[in-house]
Amino acid sequence: MQANYLSGVANSTLLDPDASAWQSGTATTIKLVGTPASLQPTAAIRANWEDRPIGAITEVSIVALHNSEVLAFRLQWDEPNPSADNGDNTRFPDGAAVAFPLVGEPSLVTMGAQDQPISIWSWRAGEQGGKQLVAAGLGTSEIIESSQISTNQVWHDGQYSVVIARTMFGDSNISSAQFRPGQHSRFGLAIWSGRNGERAGIKSFTPAWYDLHLATG
């Protein structure tokens, strides 16, 4: 997949899911699968999901754009009953994340490994902004900062349109993916369906990495 370069486009435009700028990109439809219940970190979670379907969202459409300063992804998927965090822990919120390998060939199903961590940009319905995480194996996801990721979303006619973005050159003092025009990288996706009770390791995801090329001017 290519992240098209849009010269002079404002960062605020890239954060608007309905902006016409997104029509300049090529949408890629990616299939998702549910995480295996057998790989969940505790016996209680494994037992709770052993006979329940995991992965309510089975495909997502994605477009990537950049203006040489900000790299933005727009994810779109069908969701008939959106669920947002209302602050009292009575609902499971919908969520989405874009992941990038930091070292080597990490496995997405295991969320990387100790010597092959992955960088994660995440969005959660009902929260302002986004979070940046790093993971190095099952149950190791850790929030490393919550100010660099920008998110925005709309939901209408049974479909989410979610933008997750960050400056291409992030904080070099933390374990985070870095980007530049002309770079070849890879990415993976995860979607959480709140109506299905999905959270943490219970989600839909891409079992393999997808190529990402950042176009130049």
Taking only the tens place, the pLDDT of each residue in 104-129 is 989 999 999 999 999 999 999 988 89
Q: Closest Cα to residue 166, out of 104, 111, 123, 213?
A: 123
pLDDT of 31 reads 98
Reply yes or no on whether the pLDDT at 139 is more than 70. Answer: yes
* pLDDT confidence of residue 107: 94
43's CB contacts (< 8 A; 6+ apart) are none
pLDDT in the model for residue 217 = 73
List of domains in the chain: 2-97+150-214 (2.60.40.1190)
Amino acid of residue 97: A
What's the pLDDT band for 172 if we cut at 50, 70, 90?
Answer: low
pLDDT tens digits, 2-12 = 999 999 999 99
How far apart, in whole angstroms, are the C-alpha atoms of residue 216 and residue 179?
12
pLDDT at residue 173 is higher than 80: no
pLDDT band of residue 206 (cuts 50, 70, 90) is: very high
What pTM did the predictor assign? 0.95
Per-residue pLDDT tens over the stretch 75-98: 999 999 999 977 666 789 999 999
Q: Which of 154, 167, 164 is nearest to 96 (CA)?
A: 164
In this prediction, residue 88 carries a pLDDT of 66
